[in-house]
Amino acid sequence: MNRVLIPVSLSAPPVPLAADARVHRWGGETMGTTWSVVAVLPPSANGGGILQGIQAVLDGVIAQMSNWVPDSDLSRFNRAAPGSWHALPDDCFHVLQTALQVARDSGGAYDPSAGPLVDLWGFGPAPRRDTPPSADQVAQARQQCGWARIELDIGARRAQQPGGVSLDFCAIAKGFAVDAVARYLDAQGLSHHLTEIGGELRGHGVKPDGMPWWVALEAPPGVQRESDEQTLVALHGLSVATSGDYRRFFDSGGRRYAHTIDPRTGYPASHALASVTVLHAQCMMADALSTALTVLGPQAGMEHARRHGIAACFLVRHPDGFDEHLSPAFAAMLA
């Protein structure tokens, strides 16, 4: 039997479905992964025009926030001279503000300035590696990091480059892009849709049969549930993101080094936590919080989730399998 999660503040669909409404699907590639959108369209809707609009939204996020693209706004900021101030596009500035708030709340477990460490460990634009860097290299990269070094001029929507800071939005921009596509669909008068980028999702409204957008929560390889039980969540005004140590990693000397870097130490997070799934109204927040909780680990992560009312599911490895720990906000959604 499947477990079911339902938003605590479940509301009626925003717009009644037309009798002749139809489901349309689009998909493609972006940000080094794939994306897909499912939406309920009236017969008069232009599916081709909507596809172009979605692609424009995704291209816009890349142009502003990708550190893999040399001429993006983020890349230009990363190369800027020490002490210089830079006006950022509204979306990029909003993501930076949010990232710094998550960094502040988590005590630096999430740090958008950890780009040099991500590159050093081979998980950014720099070449991949199959052996860990030296302690001296880690110490040198850490000197370039520090979210608290970044000053903002909120009125002018500017950020100061303190010198050598390399912002990396990989743990938040994908979630923002999901939100941005959802907002675009709403603006087109499409009130019933499901957006997914690289496994992160946000749903609005319902399907033509009146049922919500049911999504099975991601689980690490090797997780066995009784009778193939799945945990299904109704993404009705809700987003989901999962951070896990099984996605990108390399093995060296009998040890696995996963892509989630602890900015406080400079090394990949090293504890028994296999994955963290976060449910939140905003996919951007679910994205960043799942990373922060992964770095914090099972105990500190659960304490942080309790204190901030975060709906989170922690899967912790042990010799005989996995243990699951649910935050109160997550457990409250169980039907």
Cβ of 143: how many Cβ atoms within 10 Å? 10
Amino acid occupying residue 75: S
- Residue 47 is predicted with a pLDDT of 79
- Mapping DSSP onto H, E and C, the string for 230-271 reads CEEEECCCEEEEEEECCCCEEEECCEEEECCEECCCCEECCC
Amino acid occupying residue 126: A
- Residue 227 is predicted with a pLDDT of 43
- Residue 165 is predicted with a pLDDT of 93
- Residue 69 is predicted with a pLDDT of 93
- Residue 308 is predicted with a pLDDT of 97
- Residue 254 is predicted with a pLDDT of 73
88 neighbors 157 (Cβ within 8 angstroms): yes
d(CA 283, CA 201): 7
d(CA 262, CA 64): 25
d(CA 156, CA 303): 36
- Residue 299 is predicted with a pLDDT of 95
Q: How many alpha carbons fall within 13 Å on the CB side of residue 64?
A: 22
pTM listed for this prediction: 0.92
The radius of gyration computed from the CA coordinates of the chain, to the nearest angstrom, equals 20
For the chain, list residues with pLDDT below 50.
Answer: 226-227
CATH 3.10.520.10 given to domain 3-10+21-43+199-331:
yes
- Residue 180 is predicted with a pLDDT of 98
* Kind of pairing between the strands at 3-5 and 231-234: parallel
Q: How many alpha carbons fall within 13 Å on the CB side of residue 42?
A: 10
Domain ranges of the chain: 3-10+21-43+199-331
d(CA 38, CA 49): 15
Tell me the two tokens of residue 41.
């369209």
Burial class (CB in 10 A: 0-12, 13-18, 19+), 222: exposed
Tell me the two tokens of residue 83.
């002490």
Q: Note the helical H segments in the chain.
A: 47-65, 73-79, 90-105, 115-120, 135-143, 173-187, 283-308, 328-331
- Residue 127 is predicted with a pLDDT of 75
- Residue 48 is predicted with a pLDDT of 83
